C-alpha cells in the first residue's frame, strides 16, 4: 500500500462536532456584529513580511520566532499572516477607508504561527476579529466589550472573566519603561533567557511572560496603571463607568500588556480557567498609533480577535453546539424506477419548506437499511416512496419520533401536508 500523507504538524482538520461548533460560532458572531452595525472585510492570507515587522514589533514572540516567512518565486519576502489587525490596517490605508470616515469592520479566517502545538495552541488556527477606525473615545472601547459579552450570552458561555488594563500613552510608557528596567535590573540573576534579552529592548513584554518561575518578580513590578498620563486615566475611568452602566463585570489586571507592540490605552482579555494554560479566548485593545505607522494619516483605532478553536472547545465541553445539519425529513426510496420521482419530490419539499432540512437516501438499499439510516439521522419524519406508492402516485409519511399514525398522501398534496405537520 502507498504510504499515507498526513497534515502538517499543528495544522488540523476540523470535522464532525468541531466543524458544527466552528460554523455556529462564526455565524453567531457575524450576526451579532451586524446587529451593532459592523461590516465584513475580506483580506489576503499572505502579506509582505515587512508589514508584520513594522506593526507587531521586532521584539515580540511572533516576529522573532513564530512567522511562516518565505521567498516567493520573485524573491519577495512574504509571510502567512500571524494575526489580522496588520493586514486590516494595511487594507484600510491602501483603500483610503479611514479618510474622513468611520469604519467598523469584522473578519474571519486562518492565522499561522510557528508555536509549540498543544491544547488550544496550533500552528494554523482561526480568529474572528473586529476593528474600528476613526474613533478615539472610550464609548467604542465599551461597545466592543459589550458586543463580545452579548455574543457569550447568545452562545451560552457564562464563565468568562473580563480583564482590563490601560497602557496609557506612548509617552507615559517611555517614562514607565525606565522605572521598570530599574526594578528588573535588581532581579537580573533570576530573569529567564527571554526576559534578559528583552530587558533593554522591550521590558514591558516581560510582564506578559508565561513562565511561572517569573511570576513573583512580575507581581512585584511597578504598575504601569499607576503611572498613566491624565488623559489616559480619564479614558479608563470613562470606560469603567460605561461597563458599570452596562452591568459588565471586570477585573483590572495591571500585568495585562498583550503580546503585540502596537497597543495603547485600553487593553482587554476574556479569560476562562477551563482550558488550562491557554485560557484567553478573546483579546484586544486600542492601537491609536498603528495606522500612521503603516503609512496612513493618524487615525485612532481599536479592535479585538477571538480564538475560534478555544471557543469551540468551550462550546463542546458545555454541550452548547446545536446540531445544524440534522435533517427534519428523511426521504426513503426503495425499488426500481423510484429515483427520478424521488429527486423531484425531494426538491419540491425543499422549495416549499425552505427552513426544513431534507435528506434524501442516495445509493439505494433495502427498506430496513434505509429506515435504520433515517432513524439514526435524527429526522422527525420519513417520506417513503416504494414501488406501490410509485404506481399509486402517493407517498407515505411515517413519524420517526412520535407515536402518531403513518399517513398516505398524494404527490400533489405532499408539501401542504408537510407544512402542516412541521408547524407543530
Ligand atoms: P496567547 O497569550 O494565548 O499566546 P496571544 O496574546 O498570542 O495569545 P493574540 O495574538 O491576542 O493572542 O490572538 C487573539 C486570540 O487568538 C487569543 O486570545 C487566542 O484565543 C487565539 N490564539 C492566539 N494564538 C493561538 C494559537 N497558536 N492557537 C490557537 N489560538 C490562538
Ligand atoms: Mg501567543
Averaged pLDDT for residues 277-295: 94
Model confidence at 323, in pLDDT bands (50, 70, 90)? confident
CA distances from 350 to 20, 269, 279, 353 (A): 22, 43, 43, 5
Model confidence at 375, in pLDDT bands (50, 70, 90)? very high
CA atoms within a 13 Å half-sphere pointing along the CA-CB vector of 179: 14
Instruction: Supply the Cα-derived Rg of the chain in whole angstroms.
Output: 28
Cβ–ligand 1 contact at 305 (below 6 Å): yes
- The DSSP annotation for 254-268 comes to TT---SSTT-EEEEE
Cβ–ligand 1 contact at 311 (below 6 Å): no
* Closest Cα to atom 25 of ligand 1: 121
Distance 292 CA to ligand 1 centre (A): 25
Domains and CATH numbers, the chain: 16-169+228-317 (3.30.930.10), 329-422 (3.40.50.800)
Distance 366 CA to ligand 1 centre (A): 50
Residue 15 has pLDDT above 90, yes or no: yes
Cβ–ligand 1 contact at 127 (below 6 Å): yes
pLDDT of residue 361: 97
Averaged pLDDT for residues 247-271: 90
Cα 21 from Cα 313, distance rounded (Å): 8
Cα 170 from Cα 176, distance rounded (Å): 10
Averaged pLDDT for residues 21-43: 98
Has this prediction a pTM greater than 0.85? yes
pLDDT of residue 174: 83
Cα 59 from Cα 223, distance rounded (Å): 21
Distance 196 CA to ligand 1 centre (A): 23
pLDDT of residue 197: 87
Distance 77 CA to ligand 2 centre (A): 23
Model confidence at 357, in pLDDT bands (50, 70, 90)? very high
Residue 261 has pLDDT above 80, yes or no: no
pLDDT of residue 201: 83
End-to-end CA distance of the chain: 54
Residue 326 has pLDDT above 90, yes or no: no
Model confidence at 242, in pLDDT bands (50, 70, 90)? very high
Q: Which mutation among 307, 309, 313 tests ligand 1's pocket best, with the greatest number of atoms within 8 A of CB?
A: 307
pLDDT of residue 170: 83
Ligand 1, residue 278: give the atom nearest the CA.
3
CA distances from 186 to 190, 191, 214, 347 (A): 9, 10, 14, 75
Model confidence at 275, in pLDDT bands (50, 70, 90)? confident
Task: Report which DSSP code applies to 121.
Answer: B
Spatial neighbors of 116 by CB under 8 A, at least 6 apart, are none
The C-alpha cell 435504520 sits at 372
The gap from C-alpha 123 to its chain's centroid, in whole angstroms, comes to 15
Residue 324 has pLDDT above 90, yes or no: no
* Closest Cα to atom 7 of ligand 1: 259
Q: Specify the long-range contacts of residues 362-370, CB closer than 8 Å, at least 24 apart.
A: 364/333, 364/334, 365/334, 366/334, 367/332, 367/334, 370/332, 370/333, 370/334
Cell of 423: 408547524
Cβ–ligand 1 contact at 83 (below 6 Å): yes
Residue 198 has pLDDT above 90, yes or no: no
Q: Which mutation among 278, 279, 282, 284 tests ligand 1's pocket best, with the greatest number of atoms within 8 A of CB?
A: 278
What mean pLDDT, rounded, does the chain reach?
94
Question: What is the tens place of the pLDDT at every residue in 383-407?
Answer: 999 999 999 999 999 999 988 899 9
pLDDT of residue 259: 66
Q: In 10 A of CB 32, how many CB atoms?
A: 21
Torsion sign, CA atoms 27, 33, 34, 38: negative
Q: Helices (H) and strands (E) in the chain — how many of each? A: 15, 16
pLDDT of residue 385: 97
Least confident of 93-97, 139-143, 257-261: 257-261
Quick check: 354 and 416 in contact, CB under 8 A? no
Helix (H, G, I), strand (E, B) or coil at 67: coil
Amino acid at each position: 500500500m502507498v504510504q499515507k500523507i498526513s497534515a502538517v504538524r499543528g495544522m488540523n482538520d476540523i470535522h464532525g462536532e468541531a466543524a458544527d461548533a466552528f460554523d455556529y460560532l462564526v455565524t453567531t458572531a457575524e450576526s451579532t456584529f451586524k446587529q451593532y452595525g459592523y461590516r465584513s472585510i475580506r483580506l489576503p492570507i499572505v502579506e509582505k513580511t515587512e508589514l508584520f515587522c513594522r506593526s507587531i514589533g521586532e521584539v515580540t514572540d511572533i516576529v522573532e520566532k513564530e512567522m511562516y516567512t518565505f521567498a516567493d518565486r520573485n524573491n519577495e519576502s512574504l509571510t502567512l499572516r500571524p494575526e489580522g489587525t496588520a493586514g486590516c490596517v494595511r487594507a484600510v490605508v491602501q483603500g483610503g477607508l479611514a479618510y474622513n470616515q468611520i469604519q467598523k469592520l469584522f473578519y474571519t479566517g486562518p492565522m499561522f504561527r510557528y508555536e509549540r502545538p498543544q491544547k488550544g495552541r496550533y500552528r494554523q488556527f482561526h480568529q474572528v476579529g473586529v476593528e474600528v477606525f476613526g474613533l478615539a473615545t472610550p464609548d467604542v472601547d465599551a461597545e466592543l466589550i459589550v458586543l463580545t459579552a452579548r455574543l457569550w450570552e447568545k452562545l451560552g458561555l457564562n464563565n468568562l472573566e473580563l480583564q482590563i488594563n490601560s497602557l496609557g500613552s506612548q509617552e507615559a510608557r517611555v517614562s514607565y519603561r525606565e522605572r521598570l528596567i530599574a526594578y528588573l535590573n535588581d532581579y537580573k540573576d533570576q530573569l529567564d533567557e527571554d526576559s534578559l534579552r528583552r530587558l533593554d529592548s522591550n521590558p514591558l513584554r516581560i510582564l506578559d511572560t508565561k513562565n511561572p518561575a517569573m511570576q513573583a518578580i512580575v507581581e512585584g513590578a511597578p504598575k504601569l496603571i499607576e503611572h498613566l498620563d491624565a488623559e489616559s486615566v480619564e479614558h479608563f475611568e470613562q470606560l469603567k463607568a460605561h461597563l458599570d452602566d452596562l452591568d459588565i463585570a471586570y477585573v483590572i489586571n495591571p500585568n495585562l500588556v498583550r503580546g503585540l507592540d502596537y497597543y495603547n490605552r485600553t487593553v482587554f482579555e476574556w479569560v476562562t480557567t477551563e482550558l488550562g494554560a491557554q485560557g484567553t479566548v478573546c483579546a484586544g485593545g486600542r492601537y491609536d498609533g498603528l495606522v500612521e505607522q503603516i503609512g496612513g494619516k493618524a487615525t485612532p483605532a481599536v479592535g479585538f480577535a477571538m480564538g475560534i478553536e478555544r471557543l469551540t472547545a468551550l462550546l463542546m465541553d458545555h454541550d452548547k453546539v446545536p446540531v445544524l445539519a440534522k435533517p427534519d425529513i428523511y426521504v426513503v426510496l426503495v425499488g426500481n424506477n423510484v429515483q427520478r420521482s424521488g429527486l423531484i419530490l425531494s426538491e419540491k419539499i425543499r422549495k416549499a419548506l425552505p427552513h426544513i432540512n431534507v435528506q434524501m437516501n442516495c445509493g439505494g438499499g433495502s427498506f430496513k437499511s434505509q429506515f435504520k439510516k433515517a432513524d439514526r439521522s435524527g429526522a422527525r419524519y420519513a417520506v417513503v416512496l416504494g414501488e406501490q406508492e410509485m404506481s399509486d402516485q402517493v407517498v407515505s409519511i411515517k413519524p420517526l419520533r412520535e407515536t402518531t399514525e403513518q399517513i398516505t398522501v398524494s404527490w400533489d398534496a405532499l408539501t401542504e401536508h408537510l407544512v402542516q405537520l412541521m408547524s407543530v
